[in-house]
Amino acid sequence: MPTLDDNHPGARVKEQRKLAHLTQRELANRLPYSYSLLNQVECGARPATAAFVAAVARALRIDVTVLTGQPYLTEMRQDRLITVVRPIREALDLYDLGVDPELAPRPTQMLISAADELCADVRGTHLRKAARALPTVIAELTSSAWARRSTELWQALASSYRTAHDISVKLGYYDLAAVSLDRMGWAADRASDPCIAAVRQYMRALVYFREGEYTIGRRLAAAGHIAAGQAPLGRERDAVVGQLHLGESIIAARASDEHAVEQHLTEASHIAGITGEATDVHWLSFGPTNVAMHSMSAEIEMRHYDEALVQARALQIPASFATSRRTHSVIDRARAEMETGHFEAALKHLLAARRAAPEQTRYHPGARETIRGLVHTSRRTPDSLSHIASWIGM
């Protein structure tokens, strides 16, 4: 049977609290959580949720990754993913070097298709494949964009920088993700594309959501609306604005602003009724399905687990929906099942997430903490739980 080791977020919370010379009472007084919960998380009796970790990181003025232990280097070595990070970092540093005289880039349409394929691979959770191909695509697009000054090439380069962000976040390299978003903004400016600029602000808002800085997250989302407002009227603009509202609904949920959650979800639902399933717009997966998924996630963020479970059980996700988004929703449901005492159902959904997207699930902090929670609460540990706990490094 797996046991809770000392390498979990609760243990790291305790370590960082002591380094800050705070007692449990003193830290709890700085959190929107009780002393009892802090005590239970530190000793491993309760999983450390993403919201809890963000609140502690903010109170202690440290980075979230200090508490989550990301990136998970041991697992990345086992999965042969650790070697892909440096080439991505180097490719991001080419942005202002102009044309590379030693490079012979592919034709424009082939490079645009390559950028789209990277987006598809990430949403299909083929992280290793995308990460290995990404540096070459960025290098070719950078040189070609400088040589031809083509809007299409700047747009494709911005898309590739976004892929660098997505991969970096999924692997836990948040510093690299921030650099990627800076580069995405730089390329979006050269493309003069307000929708790409708005998508970037949406993604920046989610950075601060993860860090627990909800006021900044909301300001960035508002900047995204301003950028999107400069785009021509139409489905593309609508889908981007709708996705901004979905992001804002989750930020509001984490901030316990139920009124704002309802407002943003209502607006997103109205827009989704106009656009339909707009999964083809900037790879955002916007549409009625994503609105329903965010509604369920918002309930989880507000710790309304019973309502979240009702919504999760009613949720119908098309098989054609992006694997990464479907998997995220399955992991959310596992959390809701665990929090409401449905331990077998929680394990069932974690195993489903692993089958659908093993790389995403293994590096997802929420999945890891739900597994830890099941290990702690299970009176009898089934082999399947032991195996998945061992798989994440417990």
CATH of segment(s) 1-69: 1.10.260.40
Residue 4 pLDDT > 80: no
Could you give the CA distance from residue 246 to residue 252 in angstroms, rounded to a whole number?
A: 10
Whether 272 shows a pLDDT value over 80: the answer reads yes
Distance CA 155, CA 119 (A): 13
Spell out the domain ranges in the chain.
Answer: 1-69, 71-192, 206-313, 322-394
**Structural contact between residues 204 and 174, judged by C-beta atoms closer than 8 angstroms:** no
Backbone φ and ψ of 26, nearest 5°:
-65, -40
Q: Please say if the pLDDT value at position 385 is more than 70.
A: yes
Cβ 336 vs Cβ 353: under 8 Å? no
pLDDT tens per residue across span 20-66: 999 999 999 999 999 999 999 998 888 898 889 999 999 999 988 89
Token pair recorded at residue 323: 């694997």
Of the chain, the percentage scoring pLDDT greater than 90 comes to: 85
Model confidence pLDDT, tens digit, residues 123-179: 999 999 999 999 999 999 999 999 999 999 999 999 999 999 999 999 999 999 999
Strand partners, 286: 278
pLDDT band for position 212 (cuts 50, 70, 90)? confident
User: How many angstroms separate the Cα of 297 from the Cα of each of 67, 282, 292, 326?
Assistant: 22, 22, 9, 12
Query: Dihedral (C-alpha) 301, 305, 306, 312: value to the nearest 10 degrees?
Result: 70
